[in-house]
Amino acid sequence: RVDAYPTRHADRETITDRADPVLWTAWSEDAPLAREQAEHYEQKGYLVLRDLFTPDEVRGLMDVSRRLRTTDPAERPADFVSEPASDEVRTIFRLDEHSETFARLAADARLARVAEFLLGDRVYLHQSRLNYKPGFKGKEFYWHSDFETWHAEDGVPRMRAVSASILLTDNTSVNGPLMLVPGSHRRFIGCRGATPEDNHKTSLKAQVVGVPQPETIAKLVKEHGLDTATGPAGTVVFFECNTLHGSNGNITPFPRSNAFFVYNALTNRPSAPFAAKTPRPEWLANRDTITPLEARRGAITGEGAA
């Protein structure tokens, strides 16, 4: 089996060029993005879109998100991950199974059609989650490429996936917004350090394996700069699976919450992990149940709404 992106080396870090296209469809008039938008995504590895959803739709999504994260700690399933030092919900995986509204959102044409265009294929959800960073004590997410983990631990073969982050609170410069290294998606950092067993049990709280060395991050930032994705609730950030990103902690009173959908190309389904003994559980990475999305049009209504 070809491994285009070797990683989790025992003794060294490797930096190689990306072996896949970024934009898997040539732009044309009927693309769901403007030409400049497609070019921005190709060059920077991400794209911020505002006003995709109506204020009513955004309010509905925020209501559902609020209900989900206030689930009683005793009744939380395994895919509810809490903050390292408290009971507060940090991430809810399988978001599309916990909420019809969010399942509908994931399939919404305003997102799914863009994903299909970027990836040049039909798409399905590799992962879906709700990130919730509380105010006052929200911890940082250290720099990482999502693809590195999905390749090493889930067996996703190629860079043919894209994440959509839908902001459910205002994200400003002070409450730990997503930071991205533009252009970093064109290099693959094969990380130092073997994958421990059941790595996901700790890596979701604080990632230690599969992160680039500080000097490498510094070098990439020096070359490419560092961008911040801020915007009001409802803003959508598409970012390429290999774009290096992270976020600072948050002592402000303003929580930060985002829904994440990872769209993977149907032809890019996971095989065996490339650098781990066993694959991560299904709630982290769909493997057995793969359902291509049927893009849906029309307004998204909240649960319990008319």
Interface positions with a second copy (CB under 8 A): 135-136, 140, 142-143, 173-174, 176, 179, 214, 217-218, 221-222, 226, 228, 246-253
Considering beta carbons, is residue 134 or 273 the nearer one to a second copy? 134
Cα–Cα distance for residue pair 14/96, rounded to 1 Å: 36
Pull the structure tokens for residue 122.
Answer: 């039909």
Cα–Cα distance for residue pair 232/249, rounded to 1 Å: 19
Check if the beta carbon of residue 203 is closer than 8 Å to that of residue 210. Answer: yes
Total count of residues recorded for the chain? 306
Cα–Cα distance for residue pair 212/281, rounded to 1 Å: 24
Considering beta carbons, is residue 82 or 172 the nearer one to a second copy? 172
Minimum CB–partner distance for residue 191 and a second copy (Å) = 15
Minimum CB–partner distance for residue 217 and a second copy (Å) = 6
Considering beta carbons, is residue 135 or 196 the nearer one to a second copy? 135
Minimum CB–partner distance for residue 136 and a second copy (Å) = 5
Considering beta carbons, is residue 25 or 252 the nearer one to a second copy? 252
Minimum CB–partner distance for residue 156 and a second copy (Å) = 25
Considering beta carbons, is residue 162 or 217 the nearer one to a second copy? 217
> Which residues are bridge partners to 27 per DSSP?
none
DSSP H or E segment with residue 131: strand 123-133
Measured at the CA of 171, the angle between CA 165 and CA 173, to 5 degrees, comes to 125
Minimum CB–partner distance for residue 38 and a second copy (Å) = 27
